Amino acid sequence: MKNVRSIAWALVMAALLAASGALRAQERAPAAGTKGQTVGVVVEETSDYLLLRPEGEAARRVYRKEAGGAAANLPPFKPGDRVEAHWIYNGRPELESAAIAPAPVKAPVKAPAAATEQATPLGQVDATPGNAVAEPTTTGERVNAMIDNLVATGNRLLELPLVVLIGGVALLGAGLALGMARLFRKSGRTNVRAALAVGIPVAAGMVGLLIIDRKIALLQQEVAALRARNTANVTALIASATTQANSKRTSFFIDPAAATKLLEPAFGAVTVQPVVYDQATDVYQVHVSRTPAQVWLAVVDLTNPDVQIKLQADFDTKTLTSVFAKANDCSVAINGEAGTSPRQGSGLGGWRGFMVMDGKLLMKELTGNPRPYLTFDAHNRAHFTAMTAPDRTPPTGVPTAIWGRLDALVHGVVQTANERNRQPRTAMAINADGTKLYLMVVDGRQPSYSMGFTRAEVGTFLKAFGAEEGMLCDEGGSSCMYLEQFGGIANVPSDDNGQERITYTHFGISLKKH
C-alpha cells in the first residue's frame, strides 16, 4: 500500500510541476494588446498563419486575425521570402500587416583567399533559383523548433470550445487508464494497477483544471483587448470633439454635469464621457462603479433636416447590425429583434409588434399580446405608444414604425414591474415633444466590467438624460451599438467573446450628404 501511495503522489507532483511550468509560461506572455513585429524568412504559409524564422532563432507562427479580416487580404508569400510582420498579441500574435522586408544591411566580409564559394548563413536565403531555406542544423535548434511547434499546436487546440477540450481530456484519461489497467492485469501487478487507478484520474483532473484556467485567461485577454479598443476610441473622440470637421456644434444636447447629478442617487458614482459625434448626434459613454455597468447612449436631434431614419426587416433571414449599418451608410445603428433564440431561423414567436417601412405595414402585433412601439412622421417627429395604450393601431400614413418588447418609461414614470435581473439591454426613447431620440445599449453578464441593467434601471437612466417615453428592445447577446466613427460595434456584446449576433430587424440613423 505504501508503494501505491508513493506512485500516486509522484503522479500528482508531476501534474503540479507541469501546471506550474505552463502557468509560468503564461505569465511570460505579453499583455493583451501588446504590439510588435517579427522579421523572418517564410518557412510555411497557410490560411491560418505565417511560419517565420527570424535570423538565428527558431521558427514562430504569426496568426491571421480572422477570415475576412484585414490580415486575410495579405499579398501571397512563398517559402524563402523575407517578410516583416506587424502583429498584436491577443492570446497569440495576430497579424495586422505584413510585407516583403528589405534585405539586411551587413558589413562586408572579406572572403578567405582560397575560397571560391560561400555557404548561405543560417536563417538567410540563397537567391539562387531552386535553393530551399536552410533547416536547423544543431540538436538544440531542432529541439527549439519542436517545442515551438508543440506550443503552437497547443494554442490552436485552446481555440476549441471548452466543452470539447474537457471532453477530450476525459476521454484520453479514461482510455489511458483502461489500457494501462488491462496491461497490468495480465502481469498480475495489482499495486501498479491500484496506483494507476488513483494517479491517472488525478493527473487528468489537473490537466483539465489547467486547460480551464488557460482557456478562461485567453477569453479574458480577448475581451480585455476589445475593452481597451473601446476606451481608446472614446479618448480619441473626446480629444477631437470640439474640432471635428463634420460638426459645427461645440455644446452638447444634454448637460453632462446635470445628467451625472441625476444618475448618482440611483447608481452611485458615475463617469459620463460626452462626445459631439456629428451635427445631429451626441454620444455619451457612461461608466457605473457601484454595480459595474458600461452604457452607450446616442442622442439624436430629430429636427435636423439631414437626419434619415433607416430600418431593415427580413423575417426569414437574420443579419448583422454592422452589415445593415454599412449598407445604409448609418452613422449610428442598434440591433432590432432576434426572436425566440440566437439561431438562424428561430422565428419571432411572441416577440412581434408593429413594423412600418416606407409607409407599408410589414407586421402587426399579436391580438392580446401588446408591444410598445415608436412611430416617426414625415418630418421625423416621434410618437410613443405604450403597451397599456388603448388605441393600438399606428396612425394612417405614418412612414416608419418599430416595436419593442416592454415599456421602460411612460409619461416620465419609470416602469418597475418584471425584468428585475440585470441583463445586457437595448432601449429606445424620446423626449416629451418627440424631437430627440435616445438609442441606448448597456453591456452585461461580464462581472467586474458590466453586469447590465434591470428594467427599472433602464428607465431611470434614460429619464436622467431627459427622456419622457421609452421601451426595452431585444436584449442579451444581441444588444449592440454600431458607431461609424468608432470603426464598427462600439460596445462589448456578452456572447462569443464580444462578437455581435444576427437579428431579424435593425434600426439606424443616416445623414444626408451635401
Question: What is residue 309's three-state secondary structure?
Answer: strand
Tell me the β-bridge partners of 181.
none
Nearby residues of 247 by Cβ (< 8 Å), 6 or more positions away? 276, 277, 278, 279
- DSSP symbol at 170: H
Nearby residues of 34 by Cβ (< 8 Å), 6 or more positions away? 88, 89
In a domain, 228, yes or no: no
CATH of the domain at 139: 2.40.50.320
Rounded to whole angstroms, the Cα distance separating 65 from 96 reads 8
Same domain, 442 and 407: yes
Same domain, 209 and 330: no
Same domain, 145 and 192: no
- 3, 147, 199 from 181: Cα distances, Å: 17, 31, 12
In a domain, 110, yes or no: no
Q: What is the pLDDT of residues 459-508, one digit of tens each?
A: 999 999 999 999 999 999 999 999 998 889 999 998 877 889 999 999 99
Average pLDDT over residues 217-224: 67
Q: What is the pLDDT of residues 54-80, one digit of tens each?
A: 876 767 888 876 544 444 567 778 888
- Amino acid of residue 375: T
Residue 347 is predicted with a pLDDT of: 92
Same domain, 129 and 182: no
* Predicted structure pTM score: 0.61
In a domain, 92, yes or no: yes
Cβ contact 473:427 at 8 Å: yes
Overall number of domains in the chain: 3
Same domain, 125 and 215: no
Question: What is residue 483's three-state secondary structure?
Answer: strand
Q: What is the pLDDT of residues 95-119, one digit of tens each?
A: 888 888 877 654 444 444 443 333 3
Same domain, 149 and 203: no
In a domain, 109, yes or no: no
- Structural domain boundaries, residue 85: 35-102+119-157
Same domain, 201 and 69: no
Same domain, 452 and 367: yes
Q: What is the pLDDT of residues 293-347, one digit of tens each?
A: 999 999 999 999 999 999 999 999 999 999 999 999 999 999 999 999 888 989 9
Q: What is the pLDDT of residues 144-158, one digit of tens each?
A: 556 655 655 665 566
